[in-house]
């Protein structure tokens, strides 16, 4: 395996309760299994469930990388929610950033109460695309529901991630971690979500 960048900087972002941290830990475990040196760090918003959650995953073949990714040096952004994805892209996207995200909004309480407004989805997606060299919108939440459990959206996004040429992992690497973490029907559900995420990415033109 040869990293496209060393260190390779991956940002995983979304809303608390979406499984962002598990996704980052799964990536880190799989990368360690490939012999890489990996640093994973998380930051949380005002509340773990419903607040902003961001994980930095830094990967190197040569040395132990620092935990925090410098601004403008994110190589891959894995986003679980479009507004959070844009917020992270504005700070961390660079000239070669690849962004894979779920375009389904998760509306904050203030929006649901009519106190705040949520930006038009088309505008969010247009700016994400403008900030990235490649964007891939994968309906991970819908895929998870089709697979049988909404909580598998993070696994569907990992499936999409595994199709990227910039990703230093393949489907087998990540599926191996799934078999270590899950058993029985839960494992089969997550395998289905993972495969469906890969297929959705291929249809979306992942490179």
DSSP 63: S
pLDDT of amino acid 51: 73
pLDDT of amino acid 98: 96
Q: Which residues of the chain have pLDDT under 70?
A: 1, 44-50, 205-207
Q: In this structure, what token pair is assigned to residue 164? A: 């990227």
Report the predicted TM-score, pTM, of the whole model to 2 decimal places.
0.91
The CATH homologous superfamily to which domain 8-203 belongs is Pyruvate-ferredoxin oxidoreductase, PFOR, domain III (3.40.920.10)
pLDDT of amino acid 50: 59
pLDDT of amino acid 168: 86
pLDDT of amino acid 43: 73
Using CA atoms, how far residue 114 sits from 49, 84, 105, 108, 111, in Å, is 21, 20, 16, 10, 5
Residue-range domain boundaries for the chain: 8-203
């Amino acid at each position: 395996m040869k990293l496209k960048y060393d260190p390779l900087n991956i940002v995983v972002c979304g809303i608390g309760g979406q499984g962002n941290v598990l996704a980052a830990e799964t990536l880190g475990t799989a990368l360690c299994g490939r012999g890489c040196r990996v640093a994973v760090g998380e930051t949380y918003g005002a509340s773990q469930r419903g607040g902003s959650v961001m994980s930095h995953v830094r990967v190197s073949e040569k040395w132990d990388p620092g935990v925090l990714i410098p601004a403008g040096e994110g190589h891959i952004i894995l986003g679980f929610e479009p507004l959070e994805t844009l917020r992270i892209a504005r700070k961390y996207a660079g000239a070669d950033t690849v962004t894979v995200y779920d375009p389904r909004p998760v509306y904050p309480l203030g929006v649901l109460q009519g106190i705040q407004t949520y930006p038009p989805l088309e505008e969010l997606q247009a700016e994400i695309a403008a900030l990235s060299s490649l964007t891939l919108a994968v309906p991970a939440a819908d895929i998870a529901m089709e697979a049988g459990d909404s909580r598998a959206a993070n696994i569907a996004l990992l499936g999409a991630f595994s199709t990227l040429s910039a990703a230093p992992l393949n489907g087998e690497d990540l599926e191996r971690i799934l078999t270590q973490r899950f058993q029985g029907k839960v494992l089969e559900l997550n395998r289905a979500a993972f495969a469906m995420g890969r297929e959705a990415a291929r249809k979306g033109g992942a490179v």
